[in-house]
């Protein structure tokens, strides 16, 4: 059924009220966290978004404004899903949507679909602000912040210089690379880990800083022992320590617990008696995770 919908979407005209409804249908299915139809729902999200872009729906308004306006008739149903998952699209559109899609990145069979959906959202959102970017001579803060949630989520698959430069290019942030001298050359993939800072992301307010640090903390709670990913994310958090120390202190408990979980997971992986230690570690790990329920981004 979902595959049939994906084939029908290109034939839907831009004035139809169904195109945006199909987008939110895809989001609702992704919120359901069922791996069996995650890939199809991701494809439906991508094809509807691209269709709206081709129809010119984002020429005079942002992606988030257009989609939230179309969501209003569905509020009775969508609000129940948001409350269940403790999300707020009105407060943080890109972070809420990225958190829903991100769980696929931690599932080997769904990783490709999740990455494709996040890249589509990133590219369409940035493209909608290209006139602002051209007028200012560089990426506008509006474009950066509108796509920030997708950018942060994609950091987990951009751990090499080549992949990281691709992400910067898609985000139109490559012209700002001089801000951070620790970004290695794109041709240098010999173990160098890119470094990301608050300055490169043009973060100038505490609300955005809080969204970033909270989302990064939730991502770290599901880290799977990738040293490069962990290094990038903790490096980003360290840059916020200088710019927004109050925000870091607010999220310190979350970040500390995430780091503890990653440490426990690494200890289990490297120990030769993994099964025996795993049984001992399972109880405290289960006791820690309920504290992170608000930021849970893994399949049940």
d(CA 150, CA 196): 15
d(CA 111, CA 226): 15
For residue 231, what are the CA distances in angstroms to 4, 89, 160, 286, 297? Answer: 42, 29, 12, 25, 20
- What's the confidence (pLDDT) of residue 91? 84
Residue length of the chain: 300
d(CA 219, CA 102): 9
DSSP state of 193: P
The two tokens of residue 34 are: 């069922």
pTM of the model: 0.78
Contacts of 43 (CB under 8 A, 6+ apart): 2, 3, 6, 113
Q: Is there a contact between 101 and 117 (Cβ–Cβ < 8 Å)?
A: yes
The pLDDT profile of the chain, 300 residues, written as one tens digit per residue, is 778 888 888 888 767 778 888 999 999 899 887 888 899 999 999 999 999 999 888 888 889 999 999 888 888 888 887 787 778 888 889 999 999 999 899 888 999 999 999 999 999 999 987 755 545 555 555 556 889 999 999 999 998 888 998 998 898 876 555 444 455 555 555 567 888 888 888 888 888 888 898 898 888 888 766 678 888 988 888 888 888 888 877 776 665 665 555 555 555 555 544 443 343 333 333 333 443 444 444 444
Q: Is there a contact between 131 and 58 (Cβ–Cβ < 8 Å)?
A: no
């Amino acid at each position: 059924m979902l595959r049939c919908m994906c084939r029908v979407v290109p034939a839907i005209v831009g004035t139809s009220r169904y195109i945006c409804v199909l987008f939110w249908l895809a989001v609702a299915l992704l919120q359901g966290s069922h791996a069996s139809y995650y890939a199809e729902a991701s494809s439906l999200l991508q094809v509807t978004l691209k269709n709206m872009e081709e129809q010119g729906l984002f020429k005079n308004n942002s992606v988030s404004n257009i989609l939230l306006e179309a969501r209003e008739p569905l509020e009775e149903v969508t609000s129940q899903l948001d409350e269940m998952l403790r999300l707020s699209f009105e407060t943080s559109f890109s972070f809420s949507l990225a958190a829903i899609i991100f769980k696929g990145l931690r599932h080997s069979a769904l990783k490709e679909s999740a990455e494709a959906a996040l890249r589509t959202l990133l590219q369409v959102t940035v493209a909608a602000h290209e006139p602002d970017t051209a007028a200012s001579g560089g990426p506008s803060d509006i474009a950066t912040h509108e796509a920030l949630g997708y950018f942060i989520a994609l950091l987990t698959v951009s751990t090499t210089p080549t992949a990281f430069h691709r992400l910067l290019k898609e985000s139109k942030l490559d012209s700002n690379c001089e801000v951070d001298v620790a970004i290695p050359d794109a041709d240098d993939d010999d173990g160098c880990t890119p470094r990301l800072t608050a300055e490169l992301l043009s973060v100038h307010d505490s609300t955005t800083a809080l969204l970033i640090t909270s989302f990064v903390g939730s991502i770290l709670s599901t880290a799977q022992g990738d040293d490069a990913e962990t290094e990038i994310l903790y490096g980003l958090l360290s840059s916020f320590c200088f710019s927004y120390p109050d925000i870091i202190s607010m999220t310190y408990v979350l970040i500390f617990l995430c780091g503890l979980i990653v440490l426990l997971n690494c200890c289990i992986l490297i120990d030769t008696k993994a099964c025996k230690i795993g049984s001992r570690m399972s109880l405290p790990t289960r006791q820690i995770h309920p504290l992170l329920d608000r930021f849970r981004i893994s399949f049940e």
